[in-house]
């Protein structure tokens, strides 16, 4: 599916020695896990998250994981924008309209999206939240979890698919506030983002756009009461 790459084997697994021997990865993991373990206040978590974005961005751009020369080309931008919009739509349908309602129905417990209820029937606040989401979730999370951690895990392990599972697990843990269903949904999202990252030859811009568009549609669905919280009663 992803083509042949002689430099990447199916070796198993990532050794703790190699993982911790890469100090940027060790620092990144601590910045991911610290707020989760300590249940830090939102303000502390936000500052840690901003620090994490800056830290990972340095290594991402230093290693040229973002194809800076290509980004300046119109054909590349237009093609990536269209594919990002399409991928975002597909991801939103799979995660928000299918997986999440099904999980809610099977478990009898609703995903904890309480923090998003303030967006209902509030277009100005939804627009403001969407702008913030693009900066933090779309750009920040993709730089951290796909552009940096996933790529480094692949380098350290020589394996393509195990790193996707590990980075997706870490990605899901920072959404623990959404409850078990939210963690599962986010884990699946991380796997899909990871596969898309590899399938697109590590096109980080595509990941940022697809993540941003998927979350934009989720925010809009909450604003107009077409999210999983209300779909569950209509579908079942």
Interval 19-76: pLDDT, tens = 555 888 989 988 888 877 776 655 567 888 899 999 999 988 877 555 666 666 777 8
The per-residue DSSP string of 113-141 comes to -GGGGGGTT-HHHHHHHHHHHIIIIIIII
Single pTM value for the model: 0.86
Domains: count for the chain: 1
Residue 9 is assigned to a structural domain of this protein: no
Residues whose CB falls within 8 Å of the CB of residue 32, separated by 6 or more in sequence, listed in order: 52, 144, 149, 170, 173, 174
- Name the phi and psi angles at 172, rounded to 5: -70, -30
Residue 22 is assigned to a structural domain of this protein: yes
Return the pLDDT at 14: 56
Residue 105 is assigned to a structural domain of this protein: yes
Residue 174 is assigned to a structural domain of this protein: yes
The arithmetic mean of pLDDT across residues 139-153, rounded, is 94
Residue 110 is assigned to a structural domain of this protein: yes
Q: Where are the beta strands (DSSP E) in the chain?
A: none
Residue 7 is assigned to a structural domain of this protein: no
Return the pLDDT at 19: 57
Return the pLDDT at 3: 41
Boundaries of domain holding 195? 16-235
Residue 154 is assigned to a structural domain of this protein: yes
Residue 231 is assigned to a structural domain of this protein: yes
Report the mean per-residue pLDDT for the chain: 84
Interval 106-144: pLDDT, tens = 999 989 998 999 999 999 999 999 999 999 999 999 999
């Amino acid at each position: 599916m992803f083509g042949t790459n002689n430099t990447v084997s199916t070796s198993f697994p990532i050794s703790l020695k190699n993982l911790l021997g890469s100090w940027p990865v060790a620092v990144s993991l601590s910045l991911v896990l610290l707020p989760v373990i300590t249940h830090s206040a939102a303000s502390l978590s936000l500052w840690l998250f901003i620090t994490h974005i800056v830290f990972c961005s340095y290594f991402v751009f230093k290693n040229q994981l973002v194809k800076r020369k290509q980004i300046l080309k119109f054909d590349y931008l237009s093609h990536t924008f269209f594919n990002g919009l399409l991928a975002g739509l597909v991801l939103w349908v799979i995660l928000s309209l299918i997986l999440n309602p099904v999980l809610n129905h099977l478990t009898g417990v609703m995903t904890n999206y309480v923090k998003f209820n303030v967006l209902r029937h509030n277009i100005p606040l939804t627009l403001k939240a969407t702008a913030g989401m693009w900066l933090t979730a779309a750009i920040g999370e993709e730089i951290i979890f796909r552009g940096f951690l996933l790529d480094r895990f692949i380098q350290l392990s020589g394996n393509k698919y195990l790193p996707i599972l590990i980075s997706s697990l870490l990605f899901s843990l920072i959404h623990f506030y959404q409850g078990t269903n939210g963690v599962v949904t986010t884990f699946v999202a991380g796997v899909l983002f990871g596969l898309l990252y590899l399938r697109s030859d590590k096109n980080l811009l595509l990941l940022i756009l697809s993540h941003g568009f998927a979350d934009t549609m989720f925010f809009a669905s909450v604003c107009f009461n077409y999210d999983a919280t209300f779909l569950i009663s209509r579908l079942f």
